A and B are shown apart, each in its own frame.
Chain A
Amino acid sequence: MNTRGLRSQLKDSVPVTGLCPQAGPYGVQDSLRRGFSSVKNELLPSHPLELSEKNFQLNQDKMNFNTLRNIQGLHAPLKLQMEYRAARQIQRLPFLPSSNLALDTLRGSDDTIGFEDFLNDPVQSEMMGDPHIMTEYKLGIL
Chain B
Amino acid sequence: MALSCVLEPALSGFNFDNSTRNIVLENGSEEGKIKAPKPMKTGTTIAGLVYKDGVVLGADTRATSDEVVADKKCAKIHYIAPNIYCCGAGTAADTEKTTDMLSSNLTIFSMNSGRNPRVIMAVNILQDMLFRYRGMIGAHLILGGVDCTGSHLYTVGPYGSMDKVPYLGMGSGKLPAMGILEDRFKANMDLEEAKALVSDAIHAGIMSDLGSGNNIDLCVITKEGWTISDLTESPL
Where the two chains meet, the residues of B that have a C-beta atom closer than 8 Å to any C-beta of A are: 1-7, 9-17, 19-21, 23-24, 101, 104-105, 108-109, 112, 128-129, 132-134, 136
- In-complex Cβ contact of B13 among A33, A53, A111 (8 A): A53
Nearest-Cβ distance from residue B129 to partner chain A, whole angstroms: 8
Residue of B nearest to A111 (CB): B108
Contacts of A53 in B (CB 8 A): 13-14, 16
CB atoms of A122 and B10 under 8 A apart: yes
Residue among B23, B132, B133 with most chain A CB within 10 A:
B132
List of 8 A-B pairs having minimum Cβ-Cβ separation, nearest first: A129-B7, A116-B13, A47-B19, A116-B12, A46-B20, A46-B19, A1-B128, A50-B16
CB atoms of A120 and B10 under 8 A apart: yes
CB atoms of A35 and B24 under 8 A apart: yes
Chain A's interface: helix, strand, loop or mixed, by majority? loop
Where the two chains meet, the residues of A that have a C-beta atom closer than 8 Å to any C-beta of B are: 1, 20, 23, 25-27, 33-35, 41, 45-50, 52-54, 56, 95, 97, 111-117, 119-122, 125, 127-130, 133-134, 137, 142
Contacts of B133 in A (CB 8 A): 49
- In-complex Cβ contact of B15 among A41, A46, A120 (8 A): A120
Q: List 29 A-B contacts (CB under 8 A).
A: A1-B128, A1-B132, A20-B17, A26-B1, A26-B4, A35-B21, A46-B16, A47-B19, A49-B16, A49-B134, A49-B136, A54-B11, A111-B109, A111-B112, A112-B105, A113-B104, A116-B11, A116-B12, A119-B14, A119-B15, A120-B11, A120-B15, A122-B9, A125-B9, A127-B7, A129-B6, A129-B7, A133-B5, A134-B6
